């Protein structure tokens, strides 16, 4: 056997080894082995994993790994069809394609001898009939469900920098793999996602269930940090160490998914965490805020306030609105809170509760901002909800809110939702607006019921109390 192999060109040996899942030539260099990379190649060629996320920090060899997988798969299985997708085609070509060239060079897969690049339609055509499409995964409003890729049949594919890619692209492409020669070669339809930490679908689909040990068998996540990569230039790590931006450093060097780097976020990550320990916030008048279950959510949330302290959070699941109104009545009587200190969201089904609790306030998200001389910016808000969220952000950043909550899952949900409160500038009309609920829901995969309930408390900060003067 060894003698036979001596007569065939080196690349054929590499392909043969790849097919036999012997990855040493791809993961060993100068006597050092990238163990995570080897592990990831095992996962990319197993018979179980349909979705595989790799990386979670800079320099872990994400791009190299993706390129090795596709180059070798293309050569090993003639006629197969693959894709590499990224949010921007330009960056795919400027960065990922450059790694592709390096990988080809390293393993002797010469351009011209083995493949050509079609620069007009952006695909790599191998001479054995295999092909890799370069996909532009940018979100375009006229094609929100990525129907432009809805009928292409792929063997498998790779989403590069999943944190930048819209959920719809992943969702559509997932259903396009496993459709081209997979049976012939016994290959599983598989999607590979390389990523840096980001609070988008990658967080929900991979990171969170991974951390909780709840990933299904067919989904895997393998974290690779720069420290796991023995081939990295030492200067590269120094550069990452010297990043001054705390959030960026947490993400790119330590692979911390729980930090967000979105400049548009209204509240600071640390300040959000602090709300649960700001015991010093003083007591004051008592209020109730309530978010009532509606479409897309079957949970109602009620918060009891003493000043800017949340002293109790109640969650009611799958409960009729009339019953929720009864519960609010009970809470009101327990704490001695007048109806005029109760606010309930009035959109959709919440209106029924407002009617039943005759005398409480209804909160209409899209209504006009409240005229309040204390609030300098008031003319500029898109609506009441945006005004209240901006005000809440200010209070949270100033450590003026305290939330008593011993339920850690609830804490995590609330924190996640608050991190999604972001500036939004859809109409470019200079009005201050927060990211619409539709988008938040898509990012979180649920309705932000806890943060909305917290936000509504600002209604009472804005609305001066009625004082009757008797002459």
Ligand X SMILES: Nc1ncnc2c1ncn2[C@@H]1O[C@H](COP(=O)(O)OP(=O)(O)O)[C@@H](O)[C@H]1O
Give the interface with Mg ion as residue ranges (CB under 5 A): 62-63
Q: What are the two backbone dihedrals, phi and then psi, of residue 53, each rounded to the nearest 5 degrees?
A: -105, 135
Separation of alpha carbons 325 and 332, rounded Å = 10
Please report how close the Cβ of residue 81 comes to ligand X at its closest, in angstroms.
Answer: 23
Please report how close the Cβ of residue 380 comes to ligand X at its closest, in angstroms.
Answer: 41
Please report how close the Cβ of residue 63 comes to ligand X at its closest, in angstroms.
Answer: 3
Q: Does 387 bind ligand X (CB under 6 A)?
A: no
Of positions 55, 85, 156, 178, contacts ligand X by CB under 6 A: 55
Q: Does 237 bind ligand X (CB under 6 A)?
A: no
Q: What are the two backbone dihedrals, phi and then psi, of residue 217, each rounded to the nearest 5 degrees?
A: -55, -35
Separation of alpha carbons 192 and 221, rounded Å = 10
- Please give the residues from 61 up to 100 whose contact with ligand X meets the rule CB under 6 A: 61-64, 99
172 binds, among Mg ion, ligand X, none (CB under 5 to 8 A by kind): none
Beta carbons within 8 Å of 270's beta carbon, 6+ residues apart? none
Q: Which residue is nearest to Mg ion (CB)?
A: 63
Instruction: List Cα–Cα distances, 153 to 158, 179, 394, in angstroms.
Output: 14, 5, 50
Separation of alpha carbons 75 and 54, rounded Å = 23
- What number of other Cβ atoms are within 10 A of residue 198's Cβ? 21
Please report how close the Cβ of residue 37 comes to ligand X at its closest, in angstroms.
Answer: 6
Of positions 15, 18, 43, 60, contacts ligand X by CB under 6 A: 60
C-beta closer to ligand X: residue 232 or 364: 232
Please report how close the Cβ of residue 84 comes to ligand X at its closest, in angstroms.
Answer: 12
Please report how close the Cβ of residue 63 comes to Mg ion at its closest, in angstroms.
Answer: 3
Q: What are the two backbone dihedrals, phi and then psi, of residue 226, each rounded to the nearest 5 degrees?
A: -60, -30
Separation of alpha carbons 205 and 214, rounded Å = 10
Among the listed ranges 126-134, 229-237, 253-261, 376-384, the one in contact with ligand X (CB under 6 A) is: 229-237
Side-chain half-sphere CA neighbours of 272 within 13 A: 22
Please report how close the Cβ of residue 62 comes to Mg ion at its closest, in angstroms.
Answer: 5
C-beta closer to Mg ion: residue 18 or 100: 100
Beta carbons within 8 Å of 108's beta carbon, 6+ residues apart? 9, 10, 11, 14
C-beta closer to Mg ion: residue 54 or 107: 54
C-beta closer to Mg ion: residue 229 or 420: 229
Among the listed ranges 21-29, 172-180, 411-419, 441-449, the one in contact with ligand X (CB under 6 A) is: 21-29
Q: Does 254 bind ligand X (CB under 6 A)?
A: no
DSSP state of 381: B
Query: Site size for ligand X, by CB under 6 A?
Result: 17
Q: Does 27 bind ligand X (CB under 6 A)?
A: yes
C-beta closer to Mg ion: residue 53 or 353: 53
289 binds, among ligand X, Mg ion, none (CB under 5 to 8 A by kind): none
Q: Does 58 bind ligand X (CB under 6 A)?
A: yes
- Which residues are 159's β-sheet partners? 85, 193
26 binds, among ligand X, Mg ion, none (CB under 5 to 8 A by kind): ligand X
C-beta closer to Mg ion: residue 40 or 63: 63
Instruction: List Cα–Cα distances, 60 to 23, 56, 76, 196, 241, in angstroms.
Output: 17, 8, 25, 10, 15
Q: Does 343 bind ligand X (CB under 6 A)?
A: no
Q: Does 34 bind ligand X (CB under 6 A)?
A: yes
Spatial strand order in the sheet of 286-291: 361-363, 342-345, 286-291, 299-306, 309-317, 402-403
162 binds, among Mg ion, ligand X, none (CB under 5 to 8 A by kind): none
Q: Going by DSSP bridges, is the β-strand pair 81-86/131-136 parallel, antiparallel, or unpaired?
A: parallel
Beta carbons within 8 Å of 70's beta carbon, 6+ residues apart? 82, 84, 100, 132, 158
Q: What are the two backbone dihedrals, phi and then psi, of residue 299, each rounded to the nearest 5 degrees?
A: -120, 135
**First-to-final CA distance of the chain:** 108
Q: Which residues bind ligand X (CB under 6 A)?
A: 26-27, 29, 34, 37, 55, 58-64, 99, 229, 231-232
């Amino acid at each position: 056997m060894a003698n036979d192999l001596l007569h065939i060109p080196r690349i054929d040996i590499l392909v043969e080894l790849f097919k036999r899942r012997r990855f040493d030539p791809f993961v060993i260099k100068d006597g050092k082995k990238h163990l995570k990379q080897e592990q990831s190649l095992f996962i990319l060629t197993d018979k179980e994993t349909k979705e595989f996320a790799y990386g979670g920090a800079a320099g872990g060899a994400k791009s190299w790994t993706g390129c090795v997988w596709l180059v070798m798969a293309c050569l090993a299985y003639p006629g197969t069809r693959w894709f590499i997708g990224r949010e921007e085609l330009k960056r795919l070509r400027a960065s990922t394609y450059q790694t592709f060239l390096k990988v080809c060079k390293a393993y002797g897969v010469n351009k011209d001898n083995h493949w050509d690049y079609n620069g007009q339609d952006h695909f790599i055509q191998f001479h054995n009939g295999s092909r890799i499409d370069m996909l532009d995964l940018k979100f375009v409003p006229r094609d929100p469900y990525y129907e432009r890729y809805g009928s292409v049949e792929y063997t498998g594919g790779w989403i590069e920098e999943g944190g930048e890619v819209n959920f719809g692209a992943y969702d559509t492409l997932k259903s396009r793999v496993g459709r081209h020669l997979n049976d012939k070669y016994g290959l599983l339809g598989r999607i590979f996602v390389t990523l840096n930490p980001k609070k988008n679908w990658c967080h929900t689909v991979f990171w969170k269930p991974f951390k909780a040990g709840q990933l299904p068998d067919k989904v895997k996540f393998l974290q690779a940090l720069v420290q796991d990569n023995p081939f990295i230039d030492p200067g590269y790590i120094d550069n990452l160490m010297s990043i001054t931006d705390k959030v960026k450093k947490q993400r790119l060097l330590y692979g911390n998914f729980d930090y967000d780097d979105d400049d548009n976020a209204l509240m600071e990550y640390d300040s959000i965490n602090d709300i649960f320990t700001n015991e010093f916030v003083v007591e004051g008048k008592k209020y109730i805020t309530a978010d009532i279950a509606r479409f897309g959510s079957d949970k109602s949330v009620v918060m009891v306030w003493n000043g800017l302290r949340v002293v109790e959070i109640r969650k009611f699941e799958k409960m009729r609105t009339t019953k929720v109104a009864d519960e609010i009545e009970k809470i009101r009587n327990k704490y001695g809170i007048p109806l005029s200190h109760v606010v309930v969201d009035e959109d959709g089904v919440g209106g029924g509760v407002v009617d039943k609790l005759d005398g409480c306030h209804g909160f209409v998200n899209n209504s006009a901002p409240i005229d309040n001389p204390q609030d300098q910016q008031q003319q500029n808000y898109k609506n009441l909800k945006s005004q209240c969220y901006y005000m809440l952000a200010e209070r949270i950043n100033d450590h003026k809110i305290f939330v008593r909550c011993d339920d850690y899952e609830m804490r995590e949900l609330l924190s996640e939702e608050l991190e999604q409160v972001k500036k939004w500038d859809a109409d470019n009309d200079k009005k201050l607006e927060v990211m619409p609920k539709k988008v938040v829901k898509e990012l979180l995969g649920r309705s932000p019921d806890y943060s909305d309930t917290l936000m509504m408390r600002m209604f009472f900060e804005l609305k001066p109390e009625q004082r009757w003067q008797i002459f």
